[in-house]
Amino acid sequence: MGKKPSSNSTSLSIFNPKYYFKKPQQLVLVIFGFVSLVLLVSDRQNLTRDHHEEVLRLNEELAQLKLHLEDLSVKVKWSAGLESSNTSKDDDDDPVSVERREKVKEAMLHAWTSYEKYAWGHDELQPQTKDGVNSFGGLGATLVDSLDTLFIMGLHEQFQRAKEWVANSLDFNKDYEASVFETTIRVVGGLLSAYDLSGDKTHGSAHNPGWTRGNSILADSGTEQLEFIALSQRTKDPKYQEKVEKVVKEIQKTFPTDGLLPIYINPLSGTAAYSTITFGAMGDSFYEYLLKVWIQGNKTEAVKHYREMWETSMKGLQSLVRKTTPSSFTYICEKNGNFLSDKMDELACFAPGMLALGSKGYGPGEAEKVLSLAEELAWTCYNFYQLTPTKLAGENYFFHPGQDMNVGTSWNILRPETVESLFYLWRITGNKTYQEWGWNIFQAFEKNSRLETGYVGLKDVNSGIIDNKMQTFFLAETLKYLYLLFSPTSVISLDEWVFNTEAHPLRIVTRDGDPHHENSQVDRQQKLPIHFRGRKEGRLGYN
């Protein structure tokens, strides 16, 4: 009798290829099983990826649904003449403003959800390629820059997720070429503002860029005071304030009689290097911060010299003002030596807002004159938008006798300066015309810059060709100022808050002069912004 094969020898034979040639049915079963297993694993991976995208999509739809429900709730309360328990009704709030405010909020939600979906943790979103890029050393610049916008708009779930990323993932221990200016205004300013608003204590190599030949940029040197003074006040450590105020003291020693400084400053001597004088790129925020440090310190004697320097500079600004023909558009020239250039950057459109804000510190007569200049310049800046086919402004404009103005550099990178000035002018004058202008600009952004995956700039405001970048300041500044343009004046009151140049609100704290003994307690009893539950290097060049 032959010996039966053991079960062990049978089990081993299945690993022998010859076994399947003798039994082809078994081979078919094995191949079928292997293919099924591969398909199952592949499907699970696809399902996981699809599930993640579906969850993000559903979250966005849920947030949109909440906005629509809140919108309906406010409509009912308005028609019944009732006040929402979560909304402080102001005389300057009305149904049209409420509706527009919520449209801006929806735009912010769309921009934020796109960033969260495609570029979470990266500095900036590239909407066309649906990915992120690290333009600022991988500090999550869009995320940090947007914290206070999310908080002000009442987007609490989004704010919480962003705050958790800051607490768990934000890492400054990096070896990269850092822009002190951009990091200060976006990251330091964003974190300080989020702290001032929420009260939550969430927890490289810096040098001048090579193309300045070692010189410091005027706007860089004079645009860190607000943030570092606030940092000293909040931490009770005077060293930050002392360092940035030393810069101003050095500049003050050789401050010119017209208050106008070239854009390059020698970092060793503090003296001006021969270069352009401008209220546009690389000069703008120096003048802005002279005024705002005075406001930040509650206009006391300790900060009086900032106001004095600013008023001197404003006399210089007025010497650069010209008008076009035939339409009498008012603009600010640039200056090289004794030569005036009839060119104005859109960046210089912060000036109308600055002048309006500073007009309240002048006496009768002069205050009206300064405010009138602010309004004239704002009209020009608004027309920077209205005179192009897309109704979006170019980067700069040139002015010609008898021909008014034409676009110079024709890109638009979602800049905020004009809507910033409209916000200040509306707050200070109460003129609703500025709200209408802002609404027109918002609609142009919606028409030309909104994609399903975020917002983009335009390579050319004449043709409407789009780029692939959602700038961080679109969320931090442009949408925030538009939202506040349609909000009551009690929301981030200008009597209690001062905005840094990236639109991050910092609390006004009275100063007594000595940084070691500053009256730097932040009053948490001050009114926090109202959360309405109603209806609905990018600065210097194109990249």
Question: Is 395 in the active site?
Answer: yes
Question: Is 54 in the active site?
Answer: no
Give yes or no for residue 73 having a pLDDT over 70: no
Helix H or strand E segment including 343: strand 343-345
**Dihedral over alpha carbons 197, 198, 199, 201 (to 10 degrees):** -110
In order of 93, 97, 438, the CA distances from 441 in angstroms are: 20, 15, 5
Question: Is 196 in the active site?
Answer: no
Distance CA 191, CA 332 (A): 34
For 518, phi and psi rounded to 5 degrees? -65, 145
In sequence order, what are the residues at sequence separation of 6 or more whose Cβ sits closer than 8 angstroms to the Cβ of residue 541? none
Residues 164-209 pLDDT 10s: 999 999 888 777 666 777 878 788 888 989 989 988 767 533 344 4
Please, are residues 371 and 361 in contact by the beta-carbon 8 Å criterion? no
User: How large is the C-alpha radius of gyration of the chain?
Assistant: 28
Task: List the catalytic residue out of 93, 106, 124, 395.
Answer: 395
Percent of the chain at pLDDT exceeding 90: 57
Distance CA 361, CA 295 (A): 10
**Cα end-to-end distance, the chain, whole Å:** 87
Q: Tell the residue number behind the tokens 């009442």, with chain if given.
A: 154
Task: List the catalytic residue out of 182, 346, 404, 420.
Answer: 182
Task: List the catalytic residue out of 284, 346, 467, 502.
Answer: 284
Residues 487-507 pLDDT 10s: 999 999 999 999 999 999 999
Residue 510 assigned as binding residue: no
Residues 347-360 pLDDT 10s: 999 999 999 999 99
- pLDDT band for position 37 (50/70/90)? low
The DSSP line for 194-258 is HHHHH------EE---GGGTTPEEHHHHTSSHHHHHHHHHHHT-THHHHHHHHHHHHHHHT--TT
Question: Is 417 in the active site?
Answer: yes
**For residue 540, what pLDDT is reported?**
40
Task: List the catalytic residue out of 124, 145, 417, 420.
Answer: 417
Distance CA 396, CA 384 (A): 9
